[in-house]
Structure 1
Amino acid sequence: MENIAPIRDITYISELRQFDLDGRPFRRAALRGDAVRIHRGAYLPATVWRSLDRTEQYRHQVVAATSASRTHPTLSHRSAAVVWGIPLIGPLPKLVDVLASESSGSRTEGSFHRHATRDLEGDIEFLHGVPVTSLRRTIIDLALVLPFPAAVVALDWAIRPGTDNSPKPSITIEDLWDAVSALQISRGHRRVSRAIQFGDGLSGSPGESLSRALIHELGFPAPVLQQRFDDRLGLIGYADFWWPRFRLIGEFDGLLRYTRGAFDSGLSVSDIVVAEKKREDRLRALGPSVARWLWADTMEPRSLFTLLREAGLPSGRIRA
């Protein structure tokens, strides 16, 4: 798919052998530091490896793992997620998630974490030439194993349509319910249903989705998402969160908000920050208060709890 960054430059020793070529030069290159062994029998130029962020490195590793395997298992769960581009909260796994038959059972084997399933062939697609659970099945699997806030981040991303400027695969809530039925989800059905029912494609970023899930878990009232605000000069913008009863606007300020804005507009990050400050001044002039928080606050829910309580938002909980 054109929106999924390509996997390039991986050399497989097994493919060299098919053409009677020697793989020892790649092993020597790895010893010199000119190549990186990203999986048994799979090498990537060191310059390419160093140019990738941690998520991209892991994505190359999982594709290499299933490609190099004689059985070519289907990537699933978090490994499938990184291939699809689904945002994940928390550290990436060290192992590669793949499907396994019910008879063999769930287990860790070498570099693989094998997840037993009754359906090894349903909802499978091919990306980068390797089998991967479909987008809808991947979201269901994540909802089964991830904490609720992390599952919401993945689900919100999946149901949010792509745009011309930012294309991405997407599905609908109906697709997810269909997958629950097709996969005959019984164990964990309540857990999956909770995530699906909470999903909202209006969340504009992983940070906003994580914030929304934490706001719910911390006992605060549900906010209105992407509320439009205007003044005499016209459109001010769309607030991430809006509690009309309490006249409170909530804004998640991830660094990506400014770096992406600078990239899209051609302005510097400092220019974007100044423009954001002017935008907030216009919002405050209308009467609402504005509460802002960062990634660090979402990683420590007590911090977000204190911030919103001090902003005047009531919670059904005494403490976080």
Structure 2
Amino acid sequence: MSGAFGADMRLRRLVDRGLLQRINRGQYVAAQEWSALGRDDRYRVRVLAAARSRTAAPPLSHESAAVLWGLPVLAGWPAEVHFVTERRSGGRSYPGVRVHAVGFDARDVTVREGVVLTTVERTVVDLAARLDVKSAVAVIDRALAVDRFRRVPAMTTKLQLLETWERMLPFRGSVRARVLIEFGSELADSPNESASRVNIALSGFPEPVLQKTFVIDGRRYDTDFYWEEFDAVGECDGDAKYFDPVLLGGRTTAEVVKAEKDREDAIRRRVAAFGRWDSAVAMSQYRLRERLLELGLPARRRRLLLPQSDLQRDPRVERRYAG
């Protein structure tokens, strides 16, 4: 028995015993460390392992570049690691790896964490062309997001996205990618808000003001959505606000719930109508439509103009956020 074969057999036994987790050919991580990782970090580890195991690996792309840039993917991460190659290379896909032989410009690749990958702009355009609409807008909004305290710069600008889009022409999905980039906003604070924006537009409701600020009793309150004509506020909350230790900031869940109740009471005193919805409602066009009709808003004509074929829902998104 050769040394390499014997070592491989020993590693397989450790995997069978639940002590190691195989993440790529010849690459393993302690099972205890793996179990402590969340979904994002697990995919990130797989992506880095796949890229680092290949000599002169092509650039990581699509969801695999997105995870390294910290961009959200609503449906969850794919099983494959994505790479992009030149059109003439005709790269092959195989189990665990998907190769997109669509070509790339040298300006659209960079290095991050020691691996080559597509830039934020190229990654966003690639995903805008192929993800479902809510997921694509969540990616675009995150890349454009401006920290309200101006401490962290935006990852990119709409102008830079459009320059990359133009450089990539022609490509499949270019029309819908352009529409969604134009729809993107630097003011959406979360994927839930991005999904809400999409469903608000698709249902034909008036365009809301994002992050409208009210000063009440000397305190500042920023709201997610405000319809000035109807003096109505809409708030979209995910569970993270109440349970994520980072967002809790040392407070208990009960303290956050009490603070949020006091905040809502203050805003209700100032406006004519107030509505709140969670992630499951944000992801569902029908359910959010019902909430906004109850709020007194009129549904008119769809504002996000895309072909019907581009408006197909991804059932994985609604299942993941169904609660």
TM, length-normalised to structure 2: 0.85
- What are the within-5 Å matches in structure 2 for residues 41-190 of structure 1? 41-105=26-90, 108-119=93-104, 121-162=106-147, 170-190=155-175
User: What amino acid is the match of 2:297?
Assistant: L
Q: CA separation in 2, counterparts of 1:109 and 1:138? A: 22
Distance 1:195 1:283, change over 3 A: same
User: What amino acid is the match of 1:115?
Assistant: H
Alignment partner, residue 211 of structure 2: 226
Alignment partner, residue 269 of structure 2: 285
Aligned-pair distance for 1:269?
A: 1.3
Percent sequence identity over aligned pairs: 35
Q: Which blocks of at least 5 consecutive residues in structure 1 are unaligned?
A: 1-15
Distance 1:165 1:189, change over 3 A: closer
Q: 2:200 aligns with which of 211, 215, 235?
A: 215
Distance 1:261 1:245, change over 3 A: farther
Aligned-pair distance for 1:122?
A: 3.9
Q: 1:230, 1:237 within 8 Å by CA — same for their partners in 2?
A: yes
Q: 1:194 aligns with which of 159, 179, 188?
A: 179
Q: 1:136, 1:171 within 8 Å by CA — same for their partners in 2?
A: yes
Q: 1:158, 1:169 within 8 Å by CA — same for their partners in 2?
A: yes
Aligned-pair distance for 1:106?
A: 7.0
Aligned-pair distance for 1:70?
A: 4.1
1:267 aligns with 2:251: yes
Alignment partner, residue 238 of structure 1: 222
Alignment partner, residue 280 of structure 2: 296
Q: Which has the higher contact order (CA 8 A, sep 6+)?
A: 2
1:249 aligns with 2:243: no
Alignment partner, residue 8 of structure 1: none
User: What amino acid is the match of 1:272?
Assistant: V
Q: CA separation in 1, counterparts of 2:30 and 2:153? A: 28
User: What amino acid is the match of 1:206?
Assistant: P
1:276 aligns with 2:273: no
Aligned-pair distance for 1:97?
A: 1.3
How many residue pairs align between the two structures? 301
Q: Which blocks of at least 5 consecutive residues in structure 2 are unaligned?
A: 303-310, 312-323
Q: CA separation in 1, counterparts of 2:117 and 2:81? A: 12
After TM superposition, the structure 1 stretch with the greater mean CA deviation from structure 2, 258-267 or 81-90, is 258-267
Distance 1:283 1:174, change over 3 A: same
Q: 1:261, 1:272 within 8 Å by CA — same for their partners in 2?
A: no
TM, length-normalised to structure 1: 0.85
Q: 2:59, 2:84 within 8 Å by CA — same for their partners in 1?
A: yes
Q: CA separation in 2, counterparts of 1:217 and 1:115? A: 31
